[in-house]
Structure 1
């Protein structure tokens, strides 16, 4: 039984470092071209080089997405871009279009290929087809049950890896192939510009009664008939491991560094705990507590158990009970001072929680808050300002300081 990698999203360099620091084995990200998150920060080539070095120095991997459905003009410069990625030692590219796959095999034959979930792979013969085209790993469609995934894994060659999504936002369309955004906003979801109209409010109108709108749900705001819940499989680690997947994938390149750190930490701890002693493994509620703190929608288990309760009809809003207020940049054991980089306003005397890369979270009080010059301050109001607080324990660098939102 091989231990699967935990694969985390990296929407920018800060998120890449957070993912690695909090336990990801690999990250996936978008470069300057042909990825399906056009509105993420994405990576310039220089940032990509820095990110790859950061990951490789720590024994981790970086996969770059080229998973759009390209039109003719999107192919301009493709060969040069593939060569750039190969030369800076990207570990693999994630692809969905046969033309890009063919070009990659011609131009950079030694660059590992992973088939994107956008390719809708839902059966073992399709997986075998792509494997024979030189694709090493198949990122399976999210619309598969545990039993279907087991059958696929059992019927493909041992060298054909599979990757499965285990956490994050779900698309109402089949593996993300949606045209709502194109029709309603003119933004092509299959070229990285999705406006998420599935999250909009909708009413029903009968064609013979124009102007008469019928609510599908009792709420006066309309209904969110296409608004999917978020997938969360943290309670089913043994079932996931039993599938024989090489990689457990977390969705969320548009999400915050706080989200990335929290989700990676929870799954890292759960998977590690399982492999310590599989026969005596027990789910720990603290992992779900970690996952409840960053921004998320209501959770469910996707298609793994043929769960019918997939949509959230009352609201498309995220559940946001905690905010990140700072990142620990250094801690001096002799003075007991921690240097924190601000992310949201916080106050001297605030009760906060430390989200640590290793070990359990801890609650502390922000005490003796001072600016970087040593002047006493009552709050840290400015974005990314550095300030110090006194702490009675060693705080690991890159830990995140989070704070519960006040109830209104």
Structure 2
């Protein structure tokens, strides 16, 4: 079985211009490498109304248990103005021990590390009896409608059952080994609209200004904290992201006022219970306001992977290779872990994310090599225990 350099693979992946939803050759590269190593590979293309077609890759080595799944994505956000980059964002340049390029941190470097670690592990074990798999999507940075969630549905329909999953997102704030994500907060977006009666500002008795009523309702949503947090989660927070009346005139009372808010919530809530709480607060403060409330259909549910042997094994591997015991965190935004958690326990650990989505995204070459060593050590421990 071939072994590969994780740094060279990261360079090759960066050189594939796989800006969502374009595959760019990245999945084809991984499919070839994994196929040559004996993995059964499946290229899966999915589509949905009003979305782009998206390529994904699923690969599995072995048929036994336990089954460890590695997950990630090869799609990247656009580079923006390439003139502002020090190097071509798709050239994969290494200088002074640093790999530069779009996706270096998020997350082609992480994908390269997990693939290289798995191939090295399997090369040393011709009689391996467990299973190692890869779920690599091209739709994480986009709508996430035709990627991981659909591959998981496809795999479940085939009878695939995973024991655990590592998602190699860039989880570390400053140094490799700082942080492992054992859960994520949920996300709920609401849209509040208050109706009024348009009129001249000089004749307010002939109009009904919706703006003070909207402000009253907004205050009701934020006056009392949603909760005080839990052992592994910070307090839930509601933030208004837009307030608008669509009114360019200074002498007209508008007919409508609108606000958009997003709530990042912990495991004290479900989307259903949180919707009910928002509706209760608005009803109690409405007075005579004529308002409507709608919630976006695509949201995320909070989840937690309990600290247990799986988490402890990865934490030990991280500490052994970096000298740091990672903090067990649930911070940050959403990730594809929100889909995976419905199929098996999942944790996230990858590279340092300080430059992700930025101009001159980069990652230390030594960190890619060390992350590969962490995954290799974990594989030894995981399958020895299994």
TM class, shorter-length = under 0.3
Higher RCO (CA < 8 A, seq sep 6+)? 2
Structure (1 or 2) with the larger CA radius of gyration: 2
